[in-house]
Structure 1
Amino acid sequence: MRSSNPVLSRRGFTSGAGGGVGGGGYAGFNTAPAGPAMGGNPYATNPYAADTYARQAAAGRPGAMTMDDVVSRTAITLGTVVVTAVLAWLALPVDEANLGKSYGIAFGAAIVALVLGLIQSFKRRPAPALIVAYAAFEGFFLGVLSNVVSTYIAPGVVVEAVLGTMAVFAGTLLAYRMRWIRVTRRFTRFVTAAAMGFLILMFVNLLFSLFTHGDGLGFRSGGLGIAFGIIGIVLGACFLALDFKQVEDGVAHGAPREESWLAAFGLTMTLVWIYLEVLRVLSILQSDN
């Protein structure tokens, strides 16, 4: 399983903790997904996927991932994000005299978080220390950014953004459990392509803003900024659905317990994405009033 997020690619679950039928080994990575014609799960190359009883046996093996594992690991990563965000908010002043320095430190933390995330994405196995470190640096960046936005742009918006992120998570989970959202191969390809286009536009906007010392293409203010932020929130919700699907498949197919760290890593990255987009939309709405 590869961490589910709008930037990094994905990989499926395979034989689980102790190896599969016809060959032992660790969960297979970067393997081609089994197609419907093979009776397999479209998101996993799994010898148990075609047999309900075999899937149940796989999930019940010692060392197999459970939903409790995913919940506990996600609580650790998200808790780390929250704690470091609060510490950064309190420790780094964002008054006019220190704003540049604090912004520089926050930008450095964001770069470190990005590098750690990329390192984990290319590792064959999850590294809990690396994932927790990513969450810590990401939280540090979010704490400074949120403090700046709340101080200079939209007071009180951070609480609203957190509540909005929770609402998106709960709504997406409900829609997924009710099967209003069906994660198919076509859905996955569409969401991935849309996210790549979104990221390219963000990068182009950043370049324009650096060279023009303004708002770039206008994605950070006004009606265009609101529309762009809403698209980002919708994309984040779609990636949450993909996260839920991978967690569901991992538990059903008896993925190794350590894979729950990758599930937590993916969920954390997606929720950070959604929070930033919600913060963007609410900040624009309040600043325009």
Structure 2
Amino acid sequence: MRSSNPVFSRRGFSRDNGAYAGFDVQHQQAGANPYATNPYATDPATGMPQAPARVDAMTMDDVVSRTAMTLGTVILTATLAWIALPVDPANIGKSYGIAIGAALVAMVLALVQAFKRKASPALILGYAAFEGVFLGVISAATSTYLGAGVVIQAVLGTMCVFAAVLFAYKMRWIRVNRRFYGFVMAAAMGFILLMAANLLFSVFAGGDGLGFRSGGLGILFGIIGVILGAAFLALDFKQVEDGIAYGAPREEAWLAAFGLTLTLVWIYLEMLRLFQILSGDD
């Protein structure tokens, strides 16, 4: 994960010629941004486009509409899964099995898209659909055992994080540069490795493994996970801003939507786990 999500690992729209964001090795060696060096890039001296904007360039409307479609698919399938896969003692095994299967399919589709050079709307929407099934079952289980309030809190928390980061980014309180990118990537790698180790210990030793997802440590790592998600949102916003500024192809809007969806799903899951712990479900 070389950017806020794998989908941007080979695509950088940075104004500093890719100093912070994921260019492939060829572009790094050339020291050039594939969009910053095209005839539609802005003139660094005047800040004005060097040539008229091309018709098929990505716009903010494109990003918003694609993101709405992707998140809408997540919400729709999550709602259907919540209704069709009740989580109760008689069906919990079946529901959890379907949720795990959906999560695995979503992960495979996300990885396939991440390593493709071009956006595939079918893959992205397919990922959103299966991810929604997983989230629907997990949310339904949380609502059944802890009450719907926990799910509502997680949703509102995710929305608040998104709004706060967007406001801070627009106000330039968050400066996305090489140092910011490097710190976030290092922190994310450490976080993921710790969570993977905790999962392995829980599988082989039982319980909560190393205890990183329960009790006081669970609360601490839940907060860290939310903060990392917020940092990834800032990286996503930077990618979108630079893509529009440098006249990225319109198809890149699907990748922006994909990246934002990945990040928001991460934040929601961290929020959900955090509120589960705070509600007394260790």
Tell me the TM-score normalised to structure 2 length.
0.88
- The answer to whether the 8 Å contact 2:168/2:174 transfers is yes
Instruction: After superposition, give the CA deviation of every residue in 1:14-70 in whole Å (9 maximum; x if it has no partner).
Output: 9xxxxxxxxxxxxx86643599xx8x77xx662135536686256721100000000
Are 2:109 and 1:78 equivalent residues in the alignment? no
1:23 aligns to what? none
CA distance in 1, matches of 2:3, 2:255: 5
Moved more, 164-173 or 46-55: 46-55
Identity of aligned pairs, percent?
A: 67
Say yes or no: does 1:32 pair with 2:27: yes
Q: Does 1:122 align with 2:112?
A: no
Q: Unaligned regions of 5+ residues in structure 2, if any? A: 15-22
* Contact 1:55–1:253 (Cα < 8 Å) also in 2: no
CA contact (8 A) 1:59 1:251 kept: no
Which residue pairs with 1:99 in the alignment?
92
One of 39, 46, 59 as aligned partner of 2:36: 46
- 1:99–1:253: structure 2 CA closer, same or farther, 3 Å change rule? same
Aligned position for 1:113: 106
Q: Which residue of 2 aligns with 1:211?
A: 204
Distance 1:59 1:90 in 2: 50
Change in 2 beyond 3 A, CA 1:274/1:166:
same
- Measured in 2, the distance between the counterparts of 1:89 and 1:284 equals 22
Maintained 8 Å contact 1:6/1:236: no
Separation in 1 of the partners of 2:261 and 2:52? 24
- Matched residue, 2:124: 131
- Residue 182 in structure 1 maps to residue 175 in structure 2: yes
Change (3 A) 1:104 1:223: same
Match of 2:12 in 1: 12
After superposition, give the CA deviation of every residue in 1:252-283 in whole Å (9 maximum; x if it has no partner). Answer: 00000000000000000000000000111111
Letter in 2 for 1:255: A
How many pairs does the alignment contain? 270
Alpha-carbon separation, structure 2, partners of 1:68 and 1:286: 39
C-alpha RMSD of the superposition: 2.5
Of 253, 263, 267, the residue aligned with 1:260 is 253
Q: How does 1:152-163 map to 2 (within 5 A)?
A: 152-163=145-156
DSSP 3-state at the match of 1:243: helix
Q: Could you say which residue in structure 2 is the equivalent of 1:19? A: none
Report 1:233-252 matches (<5 A): 233-252=226-245
Alignment of 1:64 onto 2:57: yes
- Taking the aligned partners of 2:45 and 2:269, their CA distance within structure 1 comes to 40
What is the CA-CA distance between 1:95 and the residue it aligns to?
0.6
Gap regions ≥5 residues in structure 1: 15-27
